[in-house]
């Protein structure tokens, strides 16, 4: 029996993709080997990696000015690579702090010798909203934001249209959940373990001209040019994770029908859950401001906090798992990533209704 998986990440993957991975585990593409056993220099793996890049390019509508890199180290390594490459010692870079991960990125920039400054923050209200006003530096090396915040359940409704420096962004928890207008961005990255595949792969989209402005003389694995110039094959990349991502991208293209349709499905799932929360007469209470709510991560509390533990215990007995809030804030969080079906959200709502009737 497969549970209804609401985990914040590693997260649910399409069942058809998992079944394909299982079927090909011992013999991939009639090679007589698992893909985990084949050299990354082989023509089969090189072709698969190139195809995966093209799938990303096609789904997002990226032009030739963009390079696609497959990195390791998670999104957290990007927190350091960005300032090392583009800020350098004492370089001013602006950060919009909307939660835990943006806070970590800001602190990492300090450790790397940059001079990060806060252009805006929503810490004054426990990161429950996305700022609308910004105090940007005159000419920052870059402006950093986290597009979707898994911990507090907020998402940028729109990105700044005019900025004094290039935008860079952590898109980990909403990557490939909707079309993206990257006009003002120079670099975006995403850990795979939310909507794309297993942990171990980080996808970086970087404008080639921006990559060329990076500091020279860095260790090779910390230099974006290394990935661009070597098609992410400077060392052994996370081949299995790239392969799974390849299958997920094909699922998005062929089964879902592209990112416009994926966004519509995700909005329907989110509306189903938010509408029930908002009409529960206060028994359930959303924690993010209405104008900043995330369709990916729905965070809420019960009116009686003492009921949250039994809520989670009873939900698990009914096959609803991964509903605990992030360890830093507690509460309830339902992550509605791409592969989670609408009927699974409806199953959660039905359980929430029964729990409310019993305990309200």
Token pair of 71, please? 């990195």
Torsion of CA 224, 229, 235, 237, to 10 degrees: 80
How far, CA to CA in Å, does 309 sit from each of 312, 331, 336?
5, 9, 21
Mean pLDDT of 24-36: 94
Q: Please pick, among 94, 141, 156, 170, the residue that the annotation labels catalytic.
A: 170
101 in catalytic set = yes
317 in catalytic set = no
Question: Which pLDDT score is estimated for 32?
Answer: 94
Average pLDDT, the chain: 97
Give residue 308's pLDDT band: very low, low, confident or very high (50, 70, 90). very high
| pLDDT 10s digits, 131-145 | 999 999 999 999 999
Question: Which pLDDT score is estimated for 320?
Answer: 98
Question: Which pLDDT score is estimated for 88?
Answer: 86
| pLDDT 10s digits, 44-65 | 999 999 999 999 999 999 999 9
- The DSSP result for 17-35, as a single string, is HHHHHHHTSS-STTSSS-G
Q: Please pick, among 101, 156, 250, 251, the residue that the annotation labels catalytic.
A: 101
Give the pTM. 0.96
269 in catalytic set = no
Mean pLDDT of 83-107: 96
C-beta separation of 160 from 140 below 8 A? no
Say which DSSP state 306 is in. G
Structural domains of the chain, ranges and CATH numbers in brackets = 15-255 (3.40.640.10), 258-359 (3.90.1150.10)
pLDDT above 90 as % of the chain: 97
Q: Please pick, among 66, 94, 141, 194, the residue that the annotation labels catalytic.
A: 194
| DSSP E strand stretches across 61-133 | 66-71, 92-97, 115-121
Token pair of 63, please? 């032009």
Give me the half-sphere count of Cα atoms (radius 13 Å) on the Cβ side of residue 12: 23
C-beta separation of 97 from 106 below 8 A? yes
Mean pLDDT of 221-240: 96
Residue 309 confidence (pLDDT) above 90? yes
């Amino acid at each position: 029996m497969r549970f209804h998986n609401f985990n914040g990440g590693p997260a649910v993957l399409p069942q058809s993709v998992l079944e394909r991975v299982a079927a090909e585990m011992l013999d991939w593409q009639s090679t007589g080997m698992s893909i985990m056993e084949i050299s990354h220099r082989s023509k089969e793996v090189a072709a698969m990696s190139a195809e995966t890049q093209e799938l990303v390019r096609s789904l997002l509508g990226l032009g030739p000015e963009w390079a696609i890199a497959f990195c390791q180290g998670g999104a957290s390594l990007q927190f350091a690579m960005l300032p090392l490459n583009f800020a350098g010692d004492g370089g001013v870079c602006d950060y919009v702090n909307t939660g835990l991960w943006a806070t970590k990125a800001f602190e990492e920039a300090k450790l790397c010798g940059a001079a990060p400054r806060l252009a805006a923050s929503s810490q004054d209200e426990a990161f429950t909203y996305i700022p609308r006003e910004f105090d940007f530096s005159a000419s920052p090396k870059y402006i950093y934001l986290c597009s979707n915040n898994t911990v507090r359940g907020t998402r940028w409704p729109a990105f700044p249209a005019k900025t004094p420096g290039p935008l860079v962004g952590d898109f980990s928890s909403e990557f490939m959940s909707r079309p993206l207008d990257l006009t003002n961005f120079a670099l975006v990255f995403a850990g795979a373990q939310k909507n794309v595949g297993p942990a171990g792969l980080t996808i970086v989209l970087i404008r080639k001209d921006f990559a060329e402005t990076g500091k020279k003389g860095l260790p090779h694995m910390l230099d974006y040019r290394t990935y661009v110039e070597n098609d992410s094959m400077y060392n052994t990349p996370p081949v299995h994770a790239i392969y799974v991502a390849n299958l997920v991208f094909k699922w998005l293209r062929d089964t879902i029908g592209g990112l416009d349709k994926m966004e519509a499905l995700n909005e329907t799932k989110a509306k189903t859950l938010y509408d029930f929360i908002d009409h529960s007469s206060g028994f359930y209470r959303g924690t993010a401001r209405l104008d900043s709510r995330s369709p990916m991560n729905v965070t809420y509390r019960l009116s009686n906090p003492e009921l949250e533990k039994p809520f989670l215990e009873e939900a698990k007995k009914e096959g609803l798992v991964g509903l605990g809030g992030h360890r830093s804030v507690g509460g309830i969080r339902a992550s509605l990533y791409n592969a989670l079906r609408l009927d699974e959200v409806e199953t959660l709502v039905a359980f929430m209704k029964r729990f409310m009737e019993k305990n309200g």
